[in-house]
Amino acid sequence: MTYISGIDNATLAINNFKNRKVKEAIRKGSRAGCKLIAEYAKATAPKRTGALAQGIKVRALPRSRKRVGTQVTLSIYYGAFVEFGTTKNKVPAQHYLEKAAEAMKGAAIQTARDVIAEVLSAN
């Protein structure tokens, strides 16, 4: 699993806002960044029927007091088999989601920072 971080420096500025507003800004920013990764993954996903690319979704993290954000998920059950491969049927791993995360990491972080700053400055 690939985690993208890089917004740690914004912590000092965030302390001046209400917790609800900060969570809203982080949700919107991380969603915008994850959309870039999801679009790249859809474009580079292996295609036979197109169902695998259609199954790539951006979803919110489960509600928690400690974590706020979004993630890129697969709604197709066999997506993990294509991503990580199998040993029994000898399906090779293709790592299209991991490659998308690595390729779009910088743009996703920058987009998230821009959206977070925009939301916090509007309030």
Instruction: With a cut of 60, say whether residue 44 has pLDDT above it.
Output: yes
pTM over 0.85: no
User: In this predicted structure, what is the pLDDT of residue 120?
Assistant: 85
On the question of pLDDT at 123 being above 90, the answer is: no
pLDDT tens readout for residues 56-95: 999 998 887 778 889 999 998 888 899 899 988 888 989 9
Predicted pLDDT at 12: 44
pLDDT at 1 over 80: no
In a domain, 6, yes or no: no
Q: Is residue 1 situated within a structural domain? A: no
pLDDT at 4 (0 to 100)? 55
Inform me whether the pLDDT recorded for 16 exceeds 70. no
Q: Which range marks the domain in which residue 26 is found?
A: 15-122
Per DSSP, the residues of 49-90 read: SSHHHHTEEEEEPPP-SS---EEEEE-STTHHHHHH--SSS-
Is residue 85 a part of any domain in this protein? Answer: yes
* pLDDT at residue 63, as a whole number: 81
CB-based contacts of 53, cutoff 8 Å, min separation 6: 41, 42, 43, 45, 47
- Between residues 83 and 12, which one has the greater pLDDT? 83
Look at the chain and report how many structural domains it folds into.
1
Whether residue 8 is contained in a domain is answered as: no
Considering the domain boundaries, does residue 89 fall inside one?
Answer: yes
Q: Supply the pLDDT for residue 52.
A: 92
